[in-house]
Amino acid sequence: MQRDNDDDAWRAIVENFGDRADLDPEPVPEPEPAAAPEEPAAGEASWDDPYPDADWSSDRFVPPPPPPVPSTTPDRMLAWAGLFGAPAILLVCLVAGIDLPPLLAYLLVAAFVGGFLYLVLLMPRGPRDPDDDGAVV
């Protein structure tokens, strides 16, 4: 008995599948034209200027001048030049198709390796502060 009711229910669903009910469409009211935005009264805040009475010209933050750029010693400058300059020269010569004498190419590679090792050896060994955990706030 239960099976017949289920079969009848499914058959009704399948037979009516896709049928749509005809509903009378409700009339849609036409929107009223938008009114021009009103200008806020003097001293009244608006979205464009939330602080209409503020005088921003006299109350501006002017940062102090930046500190001078720190300079380095000539030996470190030479190491940095070897570290970045030697590969740049080798790359430019490679792209331009310029054949370097083997001795000059080896000297440029030695300048790169020497500059890198010199800078690594001059790095400080210990922490700046014994209680320093590395975080800078």
pLDDT digits (tens, 9 = 90+) for 24-64: 677 777 777 776 666 656 556 666 766 766 666 666 778 89
Q: What is the pLDDT of residue 19?
A: 61
Residue that wins the pLDDT comparison between 12 and 121: 121
Residues 6+ apart with CB under 8 A from 72: 80
Find the DSSP H helices in the chain.
2-15, 74-96, 102-121
Tell me the per-residue pLDDT of 68-122, one tens digit each, with 9 for 90 and over: 998 999 999 999 999 999 999 999 999 999 999 999 999 999 999 999 999 999 9
Question: In degrees to the nearest 10, what's the CA dihedral of 131, 132, 136, 137?
Answer: 0
Report the distance separating Cα 50 and Cα 80, nearest Å: 52
Q: What is the pLDDT of residue 21?
A: 62
Long-range Cβ contacts of 76-85 (<8 Å, 24+ apart): 76/118, 76/119, 76/122, 78/115, 79/114, 79/115, 79/116, 79/118, 79/119, 80/115, 80/119, 81/115, 82/111, 82/112, 82/114, 82/115, 82/116, 83/112, 83/115, 83/116, 83/119, 85/111
Q: Name the band, by pLDDT with cuts 50, 70 and 90, for residue 4.
A: confident
Q: Tokens representing 29?
A: 């009211």
| 9, pLDDT greater than 80 | yes
Report the distance separating Cα 97 and Cα 110, nearest Å: 21
